[in-house]
Amino acid sequence: MIATWSYIASSESDEDNEVTNLCLMAIKEPKNKNLHNSFSMFHIRQQKLNHMLESQRAFFDKSGL
């Protein structure tokens, strides 16, 4: 979906409208990237936690606790 102004002033040129639309799209784009990065970081942290828990379980199993 392309972001556009909800109104068009008669004095604005097509070039001005195009620049405005590109700016609006650029503002919206990083939010999606940040969401993806946050989701990826969640999975990385979850994998690290699972790895540490597995190591802890193996330690307690060997020590007899």
Mean pLDDT by 10 residues, the chain (65 residues): 55 73 66 65 80 73 61
pLDDT of residue 17: 78
- Structure token pair of residue 46: 């979850």
For residue 9, count other CB atoms closer than 10 A to its CB: 8
pLDDT of residue 8: 52
Q: How far apart are CA 3 and CA 18, in angstroms?
A: 10
Nearest Cα residue to 9 out of 24, 22, 20: 20
Give the distance from CA 32 to its chain's centroid. Answer: 5
